[in-house]
Amino acid sequence: MAVALSAARTTRVSVVIPCLDEAETIEECVTTAQAVLDENGLAGEVIVVDNGSTDGSGDLARAAGAVVVEEPRRGYGSAYLAGLAAARGDYIVMIDADLTYDFREIPRFVAELENGAQLVVGNRMEGLQPGAMPLLSRVGNPILSGFLNALHRTNIGDAHCGMRALDREILPVLNMRTVGMEFASEMVIRATREHLDVREIPIELHPRVGESKLSPFRDGWRHLRLILVYNPTFLFLLPGAVMLGLGLLVSLLVFAYLVYALVRGENL
């Protein structure tokens, strides 16, 4: 027991990387993450969540020195739920396995946490490298983030950024449940509802290596649906009030016409 406690205390940062068929990049991700931790004097671990890969990604990550967690249930959220549960660090950095994010940014996220932040989210929108984000996403991300901010009183310009960091102690407070890409939105909403210290820092986004797993329309709908479900007032009461208002307006117009017809002595 004493050995286990000692190991837990010395693990300062856990870098958690979800992975689905990323054989082209996963070794570089693991070795770069380890090098960044070492170069900056950050004790830690690199956790790769193998989300049902069929190309040997998990074996490659393990050979490169990562702790590999097997999570056969597909989904961005499913992978992170498994990875966050396995993380032993005081701070947890979440980052994708496709090399779109710069692992050298990890110390900046950790520094924000050490300065009191509880959740730190990257903002890619001012640091997009050529070819890094398709036009549909460049338009859709700000719209969805703005809608999320309006309904939930958050202040995050890029609520769907895949590079973020959090204090491990807030995991029970967040109580994350979603299993898809909407996991990113849920984290921001839950953190805001719990009045946590949420901060945003600008980062760059690079063109991904390998085939994208994103489905803009499907994943966008999942984000939108979650944003609405977490605000039942907007989802149910506001549309209901609009329909009630329209019904009253129609009733008043009909009543006004009846009065007008009676005054003129018209046959109804």
Confidence of residue 7 (pLDDT cuts 50, 70, 90): very low
Residue-wise pLDDT tens digits, 107-151: 999 999 999 999 999 999 999 999 999 888 888 889 889 988 888
Residue-wise pLDDT tens digits, 244-264: 566 666 667 666 666 666 676
In CATH, which of 3.90.550.10, 3.30.200.20, 2.30.30.220, 3.20.20.70 is domain 2-230?
A: 3.90.550.10
- What are the tokens at 185? 């939105």
Residue 98 confidence (pLDDT)? 95
Mean pLDDT value across the chain: 87
HEC string for 105-163:
HHHHHHHHHHCCCCEEEEECCCCECCCCCCHHHHHHHHHHHHHHHHHHCCCCCCCCCCC
Helical packing angle, 183-193 and 216-229, nearest 10°: 20
The alpha carbon of 223 is separated from its chain's Cα centroid by a whole number of angstroms, namely 9
Which residue do the tokens 């329909």 mark?
243
Residue 12 confidence (pLDDT)? 94
Mean pLDDT of 141-168: 92
Let me know: does 242 contact 201? Beta carbons within 8 Å: no
Q: Which residues pair with 205 in a beta bridge?
A: 128
Of these ranges, 28-37, 204-213, 221-230, the one predicted with the greatest mean pLDDT is 28-37
Residue-wise pLDDT tens digits, 40-49: 999 999 999 9
Mean pLDDT of 6-19: 77
- Tell me the CA distances in angstroms from 50 to 20, 30, 63, one per residue in order: 6, 13, 13
Confidence of residue 228 (pLDDT cuts 50, 70, 90): confident
Q: What is the dihedral of CA 116, 121, 125, 126, to 10 degrees?
A: 20
Give CA–CA dist 82/84, Å, rounded: 6
For the chain, the distance separating the N- and C-terminal CA atoms, rounded to the nearest angstrom, is 89
Residue 11 confidence (pLDDT)? 67
Residue 141 confidence (pLDDT)? 87
Let me know: does 44 contact 11? Beta carbons within 8 Å: yes
Residue-wise pLDDT tens digits, 18-36: 999 999 999 999 999 999 9
pLDDT of 235 over the 80 cut = no
Residue 211 confidence (pLDDT)? 77
Residue-wise pLDDT tens digits, 50-81: 999 999 999 999 999 999 999 999 999 999 99
Let me know: does 227 contact 148? Beta carbons within 8 Å: yes
Mean pLDDT of 68-96: 97
Mean pLDDT of 153-176: 95
Give CA–CA dist 54/125, Å, rounded: 32
- 268 half-sphere exposure, CB direction, 13 A CA radius: 11
